[in-house]
Structure formats: C-alpha cells, structure tokens
Copies of this chain bind each other. A is one copy, B any other.
Amino acid sequence: MNGIERIPVPLDVPPDQRKAFQERYDRMTGGSGRLMLFAGDQKMEHLNDDFHGEGIHPDDGDPEHLFRIASRGRIGAFATQFGLIARYAADYRDVPYVVKLNSKTHLVKPLQAEPLSRQWLAVDEVATLRDENDLDIVGVGYTVYLGSEHEAVMLTEAAQIVHRAHRLGLTAILWMYPRGRAVPNEKDPHLIAGAAGAGACLGADFVKLNCPAGNEAMARFEEVVRAAGRSRVLCSGGSRLDEKAFLERLHQQLAAGAGGNATGRNIHQKPLAQAVRFCDAIYAITVEGASVSEGMRLFRGDPGA
C-alpha cells in the first residue's frame, strides 16, 4: 500500500481557512490521506436494531458506549448526530468529530415511499458548537440517496453543505447510496462507481460507499476509485462480519486504492475493551499500512502487537 498523492485544498475553502482545513484533513487521516471513520449514526438510521439484541453486547445499549470507544480507540474521526455530540462531548473532548447532518429511520421502506433524508441543522451551527466549546470538529457528513425520486432535494442540500463546510474550514463526507425503485441492485460496482463520481461532482472530500466485495467485485473496484478522482473513497463496514474476514476485506480495499473505511456496527456491537482494540486494528491497517496479521494481533491484544 503506497502513500496517497496529497490532495490539494479545494478552492472554495477561503484563503484564511486553508491552513485550518489542511490541518483537519491531515489530523483525520494521520497524514496518510486515508481516513478511519468510526460511523455512529445508526441510532437514528436503524433505531435500536443495531444496539440491542442477539449477538450485541449489552454495553452497546447506552449511547455513551460510542463516545467511550471513540475516546479510547484510535480513530480518524467519529461521526454522529449533533444532539449526541452536544450532550456528551464535554466529557469526551479529545475525540475528533464529524457531525452527520441528516438522518432518517429505516421504518419506511423504499417500496412504500422513495427515500428522503433532509438536513437538520446548518453548517454554521456546527461551527459555532466547535468554536464556542473548543471541540475538535473536523467535518460534516450527509447522505444522498441517488436514484430516489427525491434525489433533487438531497443533491441540492449536499452541494450546499459541502460548500458551506469548506467556507468554514471543515471537511465534508458524503454517504452516496443509490436507493429507490429505480435501483434494482444497490451493489452493482459500475453503479457504485457512478455514485463515487457523483460525490466528486458535489465536491465531497470523502465519499462513503457500499464498496463491492468478493474477488470478482474487487476486480471492478478500480473503476470506483478512479471515478472518485481526488475525492477519496470510504468503504462502509456494513453488517456484522468475523473480525479476520473484516480486516482482510479492508486490507484488500485499501490495496485497491480505497481512501479509508467507515465502520460502525462491527466496532460498537462489541464490549468496550474489544471495540477499542478493533479500532486500533482498523486504524493501523488503514492509516499506518499494517498487515492483516498485525491488525489481528492488535485486536487480540497480543503483547507483541
């Protein structure tokens, strides 16, 4: 895994914010250009399904679990909703935050109504929270459901959020998810590549995608990475997976050019200590170029790691 070409600061970041933007970008990526994003917006997106039940550790039932992990584990940034950050960040000031600006529940399914998720708060309100409390908020996030009949609403909000984030020296991450009646196969690599390019057109610094997996799909992953251009591709962690398989897939994605990963359930459904160690493993592989076996040693807490 080679170093990634340094991405220039986008020109809509005003001159007096470029240094701050670059510092945030570098801090998020440990200077590697690759981001390990701990994604924790599922309490709205999936309600309590990801936090309680079979195979989920009881620790995960309390939202503070997410903050404990984000604080003790090695991560690039922790993405969650504004309300939770405002509520807990006073006790977790060391965490680099990404404020997820829209969210919806999964109650209404695409077959009932086309997906729509709208902006909750202004980027300026995020900047005020950052400045008034000296928090380490490094970016904002937003989901676009490409192919939804409400796509136009989300494309506009996304473009404005990315731009406003840049104006205020923040990075912008777009969750680009093809979804709706017009999308028979959300995981088609060519479609994912299209979503990557769409995120680039919207100006995103990072584009979170449901990356293709499996050998055949990986062969087509290069198309995705190339389509994103200077926007970096984050591969979603997706649903629960065996740790070794997870890290192997991650390593493969990074080797193929991914700009990082965004992992939620595979981290927070574990008990605290284990979740922290899994963060460490993912971070080492993503940012520091560790091997899968090094990652597994970190996860198991082997002395030699």
Contact = CB atoms under 8 A, between A and B. Distances in A.
Interface of A: 8, 10-12, 14-15, 41, 43-44, 47-49, 51-53, 61-64, 80-91, 103-105, 107-109, 112-113, 116-121, 125, 129, 132-133, 135, 146-149, 151-153, 155-156, 159-160, 162-163, 166, 178, 180-183, 190-191, 193-198, 200-204, 223, 226-227, 229-231
A223 B84 CA distance: 18
A48 B189 CA distance: 10
Contacts of A191: 47-48
27 contacts: A11-B87, A11-B90, A11-B132, A11-B133, A14-B132, A15-B132, A41-B201, A47-B195, A47-B198, A49-B190, A53-B190, A61-B223, A63-B200, A63-B229, A81-B203, A82-B163, A83-B202, A83-B203, A83-B204, A84-B201, A84-B229, A86-B203, A104-B151, A105-B146, A105-B194, A118-B152, A120-B160
Given A61-B223, A182-B107, A200 B125 contact: no
Given A107-B178, A200-B87, A227-B61, A120 B14 contact: no
A261 to B, nearest CB: 22
Given A117-B152, A178-B107, A201-B81, A227 B112 contact: no
Contact of A182 (B51, B88, B108, B117): B108
Contacts of A196: 48
B81 A202 contact: yes
A148 B162 CA distance: 28
A42 to B, nearest CB: 9
Given A86-B166, A90-B8, A155 B121 contact: no
Nearest to A15: B132
B149 A86 contact: no
A190 B51 CA distance: 10
Contact of A83 (B61, B91, B200): B200
Given A149-B112, A159-B82, A227 B48 contact: yes
B88 A230 contact: yes
Contacts of A117: 152
Contact of A201 (B103, B160, B178, B198): B103
Nearest to A189: B48
Contacts of A204: 83
Contacts of A105: 146-147, 151, 194, 198
A103 B226 CA distance: 21
